[in-house]
Amino acid sequence: MTPITEILNPAHVRLGLEAPDEAGAVDAVLALLEGDRRVLDFFRLSESVKTRSAGGIVEHGCGICIAHGRTESISSLVMAAGRFPQGVPAREGEVLMKLIFVAGIPAAFSSEYLRTVGAIARICRDRHQLERLLAAKTASQFVDLLGVGEAKL
């Protein structure tokens, strides 16, 4: 299985994003994947992500969203992440989403995607690891923290 640190490139992580709502936040994070060599058709990837409802995960008062799209417009599993320090209102509730992940999944990578998303969810359920992600100073540190958390699972 491919580790998170090989799927999520620090160039596709932004730590100080703002958005008016969850849809805008997903769009901002999705835009980070435009131009990635693994993305063969960004428009098709974008449409695939936008047609799926991304459920939120609430952990320790922080909302986390993992949006995804299943499409053949990518050559391998891709992911981007954004941190929204002020939070973004969730579609279905009062919780502010502070971490948004967007993934593109080719059909052949379904099990790998599920393993990766499960790892991110378990990492964020750990209060200390979540606090570290929310405090990371750089994109590289953010990705490294996910890698360390994944290794502990």
Task: Collect all residues with Cβ–Cβ distance below 8 Å to 104 and sequence separation of at least 6.
Answer: 33, 38, 39, 45, 48, 49, 68, 69, 71, 73, 74, 77, 78, 79
Query: pTM of the entire structure?
Result: 0.93
**Predicted confidence (pLDDT) at residue 55 exceeds the cutoff of 80:** no
User: 141 is written with which tokens?
Assistant: 């540190």
Distance separating alpha carbons of residues 60 and 145, to the nearest angstrom: 18
Domains annotated on the chain, with CATH:
4-152 (3.40.930.10)
Among residues 86, 80, 81, the alpha carbon closest in space to that of 62 is found at: 86
Average model confidence (pLDDT) across the chain: 91
Residue with tokens 């995607």: 113
User: 47 is written with which tokens?
Assistant: 């449409």
Q: Tell me the sheet residues that pair with 56.
A: 65
Phi/psi region, residue 2 (left: phi>0; alpha: psi -120 to 50; beta: rest), is beta
Q: Read off the amino acid at residue 17.
A: L
DSSP, collapsed to helix, strand or coil, labels residue 70 as strand
Question: Region 5-13: what's the mean pLDDT?
Answer: 97
Q: Convert the pLDDT of each residue in 109-138 to its tens digit.
A: 778 888 998 999 999 999 999 999 999 999
Q: Convert the pLDDT of each residue in 58-75 to its tens digit.
A: 766 778 999 999 999 999
pLDDT band at 92 (very low <50, low <70, confident <90, very high): low
